[in-house]
Amino acid sequence: MYVYDEHDRQMAAERVAQFRDQTERALAGELSEDEFLPLRLQNGLYVQRLAPMLRIAVPYGMLRSAQLRRLARITRDYDKGYAHFTTRQNVQLNWPEIEDVPDILAELAEVEMHANQTSGNCIRNTTTDQFSGVQADEITDPRPYCEIIRQWSTFHPEFAFLPRKFKVAVNASEQSDRAAIQVHDIGLQMLRNDQGELGFRVHVGGGLGRTPMVGPVIRDFLPELDLLTYLEAVLRVYNRYGRRDNKFKARIKILVKALTPEGFAAKVEEEWSHIKDSPTRLTREAIDQFKGYFTEPDYQQVPDVKDVLATQRFENREFDQWIGHNVDTHKNPGYAIVTLTMKKTGTPPGDVSDRQLEQIADLADQYSFGEVRVTHQQNVVLADVRKDQLFELWQAITPMDFATANLNTLTDVICCPGGDYCALANAKSIPVAESIQRQFDDMDYLYDIGNIDLNISGCMNACGHHHVGNIGVLGVDKKGQEFYQISLGGSSHHDAAIGKILGPSFAREDMPEVMQKIINVYVDNRTEEEPFLDTYRRIGIEPFKERVYA
Amino acid sequence: MPDVITSDGSIRPDDWVVVPRPADGESLDIPEQPALIPADLWLAGKEHFEDRDDIGVWLDSHEEPEILAGVVNELPVIAVNFPKFSDGRGYSIARLLRERLSYRNELRAVGDVLLDQLQFMKRCGFDTYVLRADKDINKAARCLNFFTQGYQAATDTDEPLFRRRAS
Ligand code: HEM
Ligand code: SF4
């Protein structure tokens, strides 16, 4: 994992001093609300319905145990003792005091953390696949490139006041896309060309929100050394020509659509032709230096435990289910990837208490080289668990409520904070998630219906990624009443698609039943082994409509 | 007469004025004192100003600096207007003037210029700043230097941190 050097430390300290100065000037009335707004947003500070909200960056989802412990302490000392994992791999505090934020930032800086650019119209935290570096099918570990992008985008002097926020995601797996790159402003898919050289396929203009869009490809192969100059060209074209007259038309996707992807690509290529050999061009040495931070941990020779595991699974059904769902294949045969699910029914998806943060830190130290990854599905991954410790780990996490064996199933809901916390909400989202989790509480049934992405947002800002849920739920306001619109067929993976709206919206109390009907249509129509999305794609939306609105 | 801030944080009196774009049908009113006029109008009537060395131009944030290609260094001062501090196009305009069009003379930020944007402007090639009148000019030196270094190459340095680290 990346470790700060003296340069990073100095800039982090200067950033804290700067924000302290800005906060003091704001509190002294020297900065108007309007002027302070982008400054505090660039430090992750929103002012919300109930209290300010502070979003802390977790670069590409990686956390060390010491950082988790510090987060736990901060939630205790400055907040109400819990935090929230977000759909962009970050962490949010819901109740800090504005005056305390500089102190919180200072505490974060001590453990090499910050809240830079977690909000505002600038380049946000770069996200990636939570299984980076440990999965068998990846082109290369994307994290060094994410760190390169993080550093390039941090306090970039030209791009601090873009028309709108800007998000970059990187994926390096051939078979899967756990980073949802096609719904990002820039999505980078790593690949090798015919000569075996490493590079990126560049998607641009994806996004959710009001105008959901799957990002078209504007470059099939970008050599790795050209990464930053090309990003700079894209950002410059966007900064110059993106719309600034209408907030809802300001995302890069609107510009790409207006110019057409080909037209946009041509403008980028033109700009890039001037700067591709500028000093911003990466060097082989620099990339190697970054790669040096992401070397393999000290893997041990783990004895073959296939038989032991088989017996344990045979004798213990719940362990068997957990292995089947929450444990993934590691590139090293002695190890496994374990996802700790934060989705126990009754707790808001992604919420963790201070105590749980410390428990996760302890688990990381004991079982996974002291590191974890936050996922955009709001879970936490222990990426390097010895197979001979799986049973022991499972026993340890079961009482902590991290072993709910529902990963990727219908009840592994992605859900935004919604009306319980968020000033922009049309409707609550957490109670809907909970009522659906209760409806589908039979694990055998849940496994039978297989992997289904259920994503819930409390308004069209789409923090809960509802457009790309296989089933999406969107809170809408009808004459002051909370209603829920359902869409079907979305995907955030390699086959990215925006879901189609089923029809008129429903009252909250009807949601579990409606969801049940949707699942029933699937079960009645599926062929053997066919997942929900494939059935939907085969039979279309009509049969679902007929049943639900019958 | 407004003071201008220079990139080293010092403050000096200055008598350049920004001449607004005349309304349709009206002609440009050039004052006796050093004046910054809309760049396209200067281009259109360049020959009229040849006897004066105190005429510069200003670009608004939606204008293309490329219109000045080849003639930038005939100008003693180019100003870039920030109609609203949150309009970030001026940063790209500045870099293009410096890095693409090789402009060498004074580059000035005008308009909604606030303290917390000064260091970004400096990094993008500005060297003078007309702070909005209600802001405390004495805080400019500090705000120009919050950071002792940056991660990226920009107009102020050819050495991104990844190159400095390697050497
Ligand atoms: C509670 C306070 C929050 C507020 C006020 C808020 C506000 C917003 C707004 C206004 C947007 C839309 C911006 C646009 O489309 O240009 C947005 C997008 C987004 N938010 Fe939030 N959000 C909040 C919490 C969260 C949380 C907790 C998460 C994660 C669970 C989250 C994840 C996202 C994501 C992923 C998007 C991007 C959707 C896209 O690609 O367009 N937000 N948020
Ligand atoms: S989707 Fe809407 S309700 Fe949910 S967190 Fe985002 S802004 Fe708030």
CATH number of B95's domain: 3.40.50
Q: Which ligand is nearest to the CA of A414?
A: 1
How many domains are there within chain A? 4
Q: Which pLDDT belongs to residue A56?
A: 92
CA of A180 to the centre of ligand 2 (A): 19
Range of the structural domain that residue B108 is part of:
4-166
Q: Which pLDDT belongs to residue B11?
A: 95
* A458 and A498 housed in the same domain: yes
pLDDT band of A48, cuts 50, 70, 90:
low
Tell me, using a 6 A CB cutoff, whether residue A417 lines ligand 2.
Answer: yes
Is A278 a residue whose pLDDT tops 60?
yes
pTM: 0.92
Is A351 a residue whose pLDDT tops 90?
no
Q: pLDDT tens-digit profile of A168-179?
A: 999 999 889 998
Residue A326 lies in a domain: yes
Range of the structural domain that residue A238 is part of:
127-293
Q: Which pLDDT belongs to residue B51?
A: 87
Residue A63 lies in a domain: yes
Q: Which pLDDT belongs to residue A455?
A: 95
Tell me, using a 6 A CB cutoff, whether residue A460 lines ligand 2.
Answer: no
Q: What is the mean pLDDT of residues A471-484?
A: 94
Interface test with A, best of B81, B100, B161, B164 (most A CBs within 10 A): B161
Tell me, using a 6 A CB cutoff, whether residue A427 lines ligand 2.
Answer: no
Q: Which of these, A115, A124, A140, A127, lies nearest to A55 by C-alpha position?
A: A115
Nearest to B92 among A240, A244, A278 (CB): A240
How many domains are there within chain B? 1
How many beta-carbon contacts under 8 Å exist across A and B? Answer: 109
Average pLDDT, chain A: 93
Q: Which amino acid is at A382?
A: L
Tell me, using a 6 A CB cutoff, whether residue A457 lines ligand 2.
Answer: yes
> What pairing do the DSSP bridges indicate for beta strands A198-204 and A217-223?
antiparallel
Identify each DSSP E strand in A479-527 by its residue range.
481-488, 500-501, 506-507
Which of A463, A467, A468, A498 gets mutated to test ligand 1 (max ligand atoms within 8 A of its CB)? A463
Query: If you ran DSSP here, which 8-state letter would residue B50 be given?
Result: T
User: CATH number, domain at A42?
Assistant: 3.90.480.20
Q: Which pLDDT belongs to residue A86?
A: 81
Residue A301 lies in a domain: no
H-type helices in A170-297, by residue range?
227-241, 252-259, 261-275, 284-291
Give the DSSP H or E segment for B69.
none
Identify each DSSP E strand in B93-163 by its residue range.
106-111, 128-129
Distance (Å) of CA B96 to CA A158, A439, B45, B79, B86: 11, 59, 23, 13, 19
Domain boundary among A362, A397, A432: A397
Distance (Å) of CA A167 to CA A119, A228, A267, B88: 10, 15, 20, 17
pLDDT band of A521, cuts 50, 70, 90:
very high
Is there a contact between B166 and A283 if contact means CB atoms under 8 Å apart? yes
Partners of residue B149 in chain A, C-beta under 8 Å: 7, 10-11
pLDDT band of A99, cuts 50, 70, 90:
confident
CA of A418 to the centre of ligand 2 (A): 5
Distance (Å) of CA A307 to CA A310, A326, B83, B87: 5, 20, 71, 64
Residues A426 and A468: beta-carbon distance below 8 Å: no
Lowest mean pLDDT among A426-430, A487-491, B45-49: B45-49
Q: How far apart are CA A373 and CA A116, in angstroms?
A: 19
Q: Which ligand is nearest to the CA of A350?
A: 1
Lowest mean pLDDT among A2-6, A37-41, A197-201, B119-123: A37-41
Distance (Å) of CA B91 to CA A150, A205, B61, B123, B135: 20, 22, 9, 9, 21
> What pairing do the DSSP bridges indicate for beta strands B3-6 and A506-507?
unpaired
pLDDT band of A417, cuts 50, 70, 90:
confident
Lowest mean pLDDT among A29-43, A48-62, B22-36: A48-62
* A41 and A178 housed in the same domain: no
- What backbone torsions phi and psi does residue B6 show, to the nearest 5 degrees? -105, 170
CA of A51 to the centre of ligand 2 (A): 15
* A282 and A193 housed in the same domain: yes
User: CATH number, domain at A182?
Assistant: 3.30.413.10
- The count of other CB atoms within 10 Å of the CB of residue B78 is 26
- What backbone torsions phi and psi does residue A35 show, to the nearest 5 degrees? -80, -35
Share of chain A above pLDDT 90, in %: 79
Q: How far apart are CA A419 and CA A442, in angstroms?
A: 28
